[in-house]
A and B are shown apart, each in its own frame.
Chain A
Amino acid sequence: SSGIHNLEPLETTISDMERFKDSAKFELNCPNCSHLFPFGGIIASNFYKMCYNGVQCKNCDHVFNMIQFTSQLESVIRSHISLYYAGWLYCDDSTCRNVTRQISVFGKRCLNDGCTGVMQFKYTDKQLYNQLLYFNSLFDMEKNKKQLLKPLYYEGDIDYPSEQLAESAILALTEQNRKLFEISQGVIDKYLDNCGRRYVDMGAIFDFMMN
């Protein structure tokens, strides 16, 4: 399956909705009542609300301390990085679909007898990079204010929130939570700064000019 339909648009022109379509949600645990719920920025949710000093659990009214929030964010990022390094591969042949952590000395060769499929990482560095960017977007002041975040719920979902947030409330809450957002982005930047995908290897691209 190749051809013009597989051409991807330039990365910078993709909307967050498209770019983050496979990204996993950021699931938070309430340290007070152990309720689990996804966090999606300053949006309407049946499980949490943003108040002027952080995230508040709707089940028990507990307001998260800064570190109760950032420690979970960091630990989730690390589990994603670790899953990436588990190195799961899959075979792209639809009749094989071999999933394994074995790597042949010919990396792309499928280890099932006679299969001519090509092995690829299941969790690619691009997915991981996008996952980090998705977490980053949740604390992007502009995207929150303009309500450009990837939605957690769609109409018809069981958990679709009963009440929506007013735009003025979103603007005010974003400003009030500036510190939490900046600190959370700092936690994510710590990993983005070490992420090989962020840096283009110019040497490799222009290698042909050296020969």
Chain B
Amino acid sequence: DPEKYKFRTMRQKLIECSDVLDEQIELFTKFAKEHLNIPDTEFGDPTIQSQADVYAIGRIVPDSPQYDGFLNTESLAFETSRLNGIGRRIRLNLEQVEEVSLFCGQIALLKGKNANGDYFLVDKILDIPYPDFPLSSSDELSEYSDLLNKKSSKVIVTSGPYIPENNFDLSYLTKFVEKINIDIRPHILIMAGPFIDTTNSMVMSGNLPHFDNLKIQPTTLNELFVKLISPILKKINPSIQVILTPSTRDVMSTHASYPQESFDRKALQLPKNFKCFTNPSTFQLNETYFGNSNLDIFKDMKEVTKGGKTTMSNRFDRVAEHVLQQRRYYPQFPGSIKKMTIAKPKSEDSRSADSKIYKHISGADLEVAYLGLTEFVSNISPDIIIIPSELLPFARVVKNVIMINPGKFVKPNGANGTYAQISIKSPDVKDGSLTEIPGEESLYLHNVWKRSRVDVVTN
């Protein structure tokens, strides 16, 4: 419900934040008890000494509130809910576990024992069940397939920045719009921000050029968007639906926190084939469920890993699995921050890193009290999840979900970037690509991962 994202920002209350953090643990406790056949009596408070093994659910946290940012398997602790352990934290001993992939903010289900009151000796880290997939009836599916004349649907995904760090060259965007209209002609074009980034070095330093092609120079960054970007986007063929999702660093958004309200289409001066969605958002194109979150969890998640199987596996897959298990698009807490050193310690006073002076640049900007809006809608896993990242573009199938990072549209130095092209074969109940779930009325798994092809294309 996009209305729920229209809360006023810059008014966080500590109590509301902690309520949400507590609810996250309680939610998974309820959930684990329902889905894993563990009797109630085997759950316990891991922070108190006990002779028996217990199951415990809590949040992975550092063992010291002042940790220096680099964690390892010996510096993790476990936070209990108010109900289960009066919110106490207990150090984790992971010596007996061979494979570990944990991160701060993760809600984990552990089995182990607190023999002496000092630490919880973990015997096993349990997998939290993956969410269910959406289903459709055969009538719905044939309706969708008729809508497209049984042809494949084509979706293009791009992600900002669209402007390099050193000049205002918009030729890639101009050429891209031509290509979209003439060659690609997708059904849907999803464009994620930032369109104009408040942390772009030209914007931060005021180093903006005179725009020779404009009669009246823009006076604000908003006008810069309307005068430079909107005219190019308006040229997109009106038969193509365009979905815009903001970044918290987008100039055109007044809502600078995550979860984030959608852009105002009228303020962007864009025509009606443009739809503005919230960040994150879940939406359906025919049968396919899309999840789209514009906050870089692939870059930000700082995992603590151990074990051959874990460390040899693909990191993108592990992060994607965590996102699916946690059922939230940005499960890390606290969110990342980006800062810049502006003064180094003097040589005689370089004992501690604290003597450095930092300037805050940007961050995940989590609105903690509203993190509920970043959870998977109805606890259902989208068929396709799009999370733009600064890291290398990719498309991978993880637990039958297609995970896509389209990559940056332009590179900071002005070189051409990438976008993602998805084609999804029209659903056909008879061709065996859909899995039937028998019941009173037969329903089908979409199996979008079996029917799709994703290409990461260079601009």
B206 and A69 form a contact (CB under 8 A): yes
B25 and A105 form a contact (CB under 8 A): yes
Interface residues of A (CB under 8 A from B): 28-29, 31, 34, 64-72, 74-75, 78-79, 81-87, 89, 98-109, 111-112, 119-121, 125, 128-129, 183, 186-187, 190-191, 193-197, 199
B85-118 Cβ-contact flags toward A at 8 Å (1 or 0): 0010100000000000000000000000000000
Residues of B within 8 A of A121 (CB): 12, 14
**4 closest A-B pairs by CB:** A196-B11, A107-B18, A196-B8, A100-B65
Residues of B within 8 A of A108 (CB): 14-15, 18
Residues of B within 8 A of A74 (CB): 198, 203, 220-221, 251
Q: Complex formed: what's the CA distance from A199 to B367 in Å?
A: 18
B1-22 Cβ-contact flags toward A at 8 Å (1 or 0): 0000001111110110111011
B207 and A67 form a contact (CB under 8 A): no
B66 and A99 form a contact (CB under 8 A): yes
Complex: chain A residue closest to B15, CB-CB:
A107
How large, as a class, is the contact surface on chain B?
35 or more
A194 contact from B10, B198, B334, B365, Cβ within 8 A? B10
B18 and A194 form a contact (CB under 8 A): no
Complex: chain A residue closest to B198, CB-CB:
A78
Could you name 7 residue pairs across A and B whose Cβ atoms are closer than 8 Å? A65-B210, A82-B362, A85-B367, A101-B337, A186-B220, A190-B254, A197-B11
Q: Complex formed: what's the CA distance from A109 to B18 in Å?
A: 10
B10 and A125 form a contact (CB under 8 A): yes
A81 contact from B25, B218, B256, Cβ within 8 A? B256
Q: Complex formed: what's the CA distance from A105 to B14 in Å?
A: 10
A71 contact from B19, B221, B337, Cβ within 8 A? B221
Contacts known (A31-B208, A105-B87, A107-B18); A196 close to B9, Cβ less than 8 A: yes
Any chain A CB within 8 A of the CB of B54?
Answer: no
Q: In angstroms, how far is the closest chain B Cβ from the Cβ of A100? A: 4
Residues of B within 8 A of A199 (CB): 8
Residues of B within 8 A of A79 (CB): 198-199, 359-362
A106 and B18 form a contact (CB under 8 A): yes
Any chain A CB within 8 A of the CB of B62?
Answer: yes
Q: In angstroms, how far is the closest chain B Cβ from the Cβ of A153? A: 21
Q: Complex formed: what's the CA distance from A197 to B25 in Å?
A: 30
Q: Complex formed: what's the CA distance from A31 to B255 in Å?
A: 28
Q: In angstroms, how far is the closest chain A Cβ from the Cβ of B85? A: 9
Residues of A within 8 A of B15 (CB): 107-108
